[in-house]
Amino acid sequence: MDGDRSGHWEAVYSTKRESDVSWFQQDPATSLALMASAGATAASSVIDIGGGASRLVDALLARGYDDVTVLDLSAAALATVRRRLGPDGDSFQGIVADITTWRPRRRYDVWHDRAAFHFLTDAAERAAYVAALRAALPPDGHAVIATFALDGPERCSGLPVTRYDGESLAAVLGDDFERLETVAHSHVTPWGAPQSFQFSLFRRV
């Protein structure tokens, strides 16, 4: 694991409140809409890559999903989610890992990633991410991957990012993934700044 990267995110989640970060989102509506478009139901298993303290897990549990995993570099982020969920805090699996070195031990119906992949600015790390994605998704499994769009910010949390449109993201994922849909989304930060995202839905061929 890259210690600097891990330290960065652990410091972010240990020192900032949930709504003090640019990516805070009360309602993960675009993610949920694309998951519905993929045919996901409460019976689907879902993994949220770089889920941080996102409220996606809350929304899934509220909809009856009972096989939800959140993977993140930061243990503090996962602790925030558990605290927020209270008695439901044990209802999801938390994995503290770097996605570029993590090897899945099982498969998931749905892979979700909002604003983690775009931090991988190195081709070898992107290839490692795609290898994990390929290992984790069975044929007909779906992935929702959201990144800053081509006209989005060049940095996030002070770190450089790579920006994508649906086509360039599909090119990185390769032929094993069919792009079904790309949605443009303007995220508004807690302090009112718009950020241009793309959300793409893929099917594992």
Ligand X SMILES: C[S@@+](CC[C@H](N)C(=O)[O-])C[C@H]1O[C@@H](n2cnc3c(N)ncnc32)[C@H](O)[C@@H]1O
Provide the binding-site residues for ligand X, judged by CB under 6 A: 9, 23, 50-52, 54, 72-74, 77, 98-100, 114-116, 119, 156-157
Considering the complex, what minimum distance in angstroms separates the CB of residue 98 from ligand X? 4
Instruction: Give the integer Cα–Cα distance in Å for 75 and 152.
Output: 28
Task: Pick the closer one to ligand X by CB: 43 or 188.
Answer: 188
Phi, psi for 72 (deg, rounded to 5): -155, 155
Task: Provide the β-strand partners of residue 143.
Answer: 111, 202
> Which residue, 156 or 170, has its beta carbon nearer to ligand X?
156
Q: In whole angstroms, how close is the CB of 164 to ligand X at the nearest point? A: 15
Half-sphere exposure of 107 (CA within 13 A, CB side): 12
Smallest distance, Å, CB 121 to ligand X?
11
**Smallest distance, ligand X to C-beta of residue 159, A:** 8
Angle at which helices 166-173 and 123-136 cross, to 10°: 80
Between 73 and 170, name the residue whose CB sits nearer to ligand X: 73
Closest CB to ligand X among 1 and 171?
1
**Residue 45 contacts by C-beta under 8 Å, 6 or more apart in sequence?**
67, 68, 69, 107, 108, 109, 110
